[in-house]
Amino acid sequence: MDYSGRVNSKKGAGGVAGAEETNVHTRQRIKELLATQVLDLDNDPYVFRNHLGLLECRLCLTTHVSESSYISHLGGKKHRLSLEKRRALDEKYNNSRQLNQKINSIVSITNTQKRSWAKIGKPAYKLTKIRDPETLQMGLLIDVKYPKITTEEPIFRIMSYYELSSKNQNVAVSFIDRENGGETGTESNDPNNAQYLVITAEPYENICFIIPNDKEIDKPLEAGEMSKSYWWFWDNDAKEFFLQFLYKERDGEK
C-alpha cells in the first residue's frame, strides 16, 4: 500500500486532516449540537443579543456570531470554569447572608420595634409608708389599680437618673425643684441623688416614684427574685398591683 501521499501518517492510521476535512467535521459537530440542544435565549441568564444582532455571554464576556457558535462555547472549558467560579461566589454570598440574618434575628435595642398604643391616662395609685413589726425596717407599699389593662400584668423597674429619657429627666428635675421650694445648687436638689421607680401597663401612662438614695433598698442578690422585704403581686381578679420594699438598716439606726 502506498503511504507517500499521506504526510506524517503511520501505518494503519489515516493521514493528517486538511482544512477542508476540518471544516466538514466542524459543520457536522455543530449540526449534532443543534440537534441535541435547543438554545432558549429567554431562560438563559448569561446570554443576550446586542444591538448588532450578535450573541454575548455575560459570564465569560465573549461574542458569538450565531447560535451554533454560542452552543459550542457552552461546552468549552472557559465557560465551565466561569460557571465554577460563579458557583463558589454565590455560595460565599449565601453563607454571608445567612450569617447576617442570624445576627439580625438577635433581639437588641436597634432592631426591636417600639411599641405604641393609645394611652387612656394615669392609673389610680396609693403610696403608704410602712414599718416591719419585727425588724423595725422602714419601707413603702405601693398599690396601683389597672381596671382596663390589656397586658398580662404590669411591669416595673428601678432606674437611675441617667437611664431616663431626656423628657423624663426634665420632668424629674422640675418635680424635685418644686418639692424643694425652688432652691438650686443644693445636694437635695440634685436629681442624680435619687432612684426612680417606673411602673408601666398598657394602655395606661407610666407612673414614676422618686426614691431617695440615702437609704438602700433591701433587695435579694439575684435579679428578679422576691423576699420578705422585697416582693410584688398582681391580683388579676381585682386588677390591682402591689409592690412592697423595705430599706436596709444602717449602722446605729433603730
| Residues 88 and 178 placed together within one structural domain of the fold | no
Last residue in a domain, options 104, 138, 158: 104
**Residue 61 amino acid letter:** L
| Residues 87 and 147 placed together within one structural domain of the fold | no
What's the whole-number mean pLDDT along residues 143-163?
87
Report d(CA 20, CA 100) in Å as an integer. Answer: 59
Is residue 10 included in any domain, yes or no? no
| Residues 132 and 223 placed together within one structural domain of the fold | yes
> For residue 106, what pLDDT is reported?
63
Q: Is the pLDDT of residue 131 over 80?
A: yes
Q: How high does pLDDT run on average in the chain?
A: 79
Is residue 14 included in any domain, yes or no? no
Mean pLDDT check: name the lowest of 88-92, 173-177, 186-190.
Answer: 186-190
| Residues 134 and 202 placed together within one structural domain of the fold | yes
| Residues 64 and 135 placed together within one structural domain of the fold | no
CB atoms within 10 A of CB 139: 19
Is residue 176 included in any domain, yes or no? yes
pLDDT over 70, % of the chain:
77
What's the whole-number mean pLDDT along residues 174-182?
73
pLDDT tens figures, 71-83: 888 878 899 899 9
Mean pLDDT check: name the lowest of 152-156, 191-195, 202-206.
Answer: 191-195
Report d(CA 207, CA 199) in Å as an integer. Answer: 6
Is residue 238 included in any domain, yes or no? yes
User: Domain residues for 30?
Assistant: 19-104
| Residues 60 and 94 placed together within one structural domain of the fold | yes
Which of residues 235 and 67 earns the better pLDDT score?
235
> For residue 1, what pLDDT is reported?
45
Is residue 6 included in any domain, yes or no? no
| Residues 142 and 94 placed together within one structural domain of the fold | no
Q: How many domains does the chain have?
A: 2
| Residues 224 and 164 placed together within one structural domain of the fold | yes
Q: Model confidence at 113, in pLDDT bands (50, 70, 90)? A: low
Q: Is 245 exposed, middle or buried (0-12, 13-18, 19+ CB in 10 A)?
A: buried
| Residues 129 and 241 placed together within one structural domain of the fold | yes
Is residue 204 included in any domain, yes or no? yes
Report d(CA 75, CA 68) in Å as an integer. Answer: 11
Helix runs in the chain, H state only: 19-36, 67-74, 77-104, 166-179
> For residue 99, what pLDDT is reported?
82
pLDDT tens figures, 9-36: 565 555 566 677 777 777 777 666 665 5
Helix runs in 12-156, H state only: 19-36, 67-74, 77-104
Is residue 183 included in any domain, yes or no? yes
| Residues 128 and 240 placed together within one structural domain of the fold | yes
pLDDT tens figures, 53-67: 888 998 898 998 887
| Residues 135 and 238 placed together within one structural domain of the fold | yes
User: How far from the centroid of its chain's Cα atoms is residue 55's Cα?
Assistant: 44
What's the whole-number mean pLDDT along residues 123-143?
88
Report d(CA 222, CA 208) in Å as an integer. Answer: 23
Is residue 52 included in any domain, yes or no? yes
CATH number for the domain spanning 148: value is 2.60.40
